[in-house]
Amino acid sequence: MTGDTDQFHWGVGTFASRGAVVAGNAAHAAAKQVRAKILRTAAEHFECAEADLLLADGQVAIKGVPRRNIRLGALAALANPLRGAVRPGTEPGLEATAYFGPAKGATAAGAHAMIVEIDPATMKLRILSRPRRNQTG
For 66-110, the pLDDT digits (tens) are 899 999 999 999 888 776 677 787 788 899 999 888 887 766 555
Q: How many CA atoms lie within 13 A of 30 on its CB side?
A: 14
What's the whole-number mean pLDDT along residues 48-68?
Answer: 95
- The CATH number of whichever domain residue 69 belongs to comes to 3.30.365.10
In a domain, 125, yes or no: no
As beta bridge partners, residue 69 has 61
Q: Give residue 43's pLDDT.
A: 96
In this structure, which amino acid lies at residue 17? S
For residue 1, is pLDDT > 50?
A: no
Contact (CB, 8 A) for 33 and 95: no
In a domain, 135, yes or no: no
42 in any annotated domain: yes
The DSSP element (H or E) to which 93 belongs, if any, is none
Tell me the three state secondary structure of residue 33: helix
Number of domains in the chain: 1
Beta bridge partner(s), residue 59: 56, 71
Q: Is residue 48, in this structure, part of any structural domain at all? A: yes
Query: Domain range holding 73?
Result: 18-110
Taking the C-alpha atoms of residue 70 and residue 114, their distance in angstroms, rounded to an integer, is 56
- Collect all residues with Cβ–Cβ distance below 8 Å to 117 and sequence separation of at least 6: 125, 126, 128
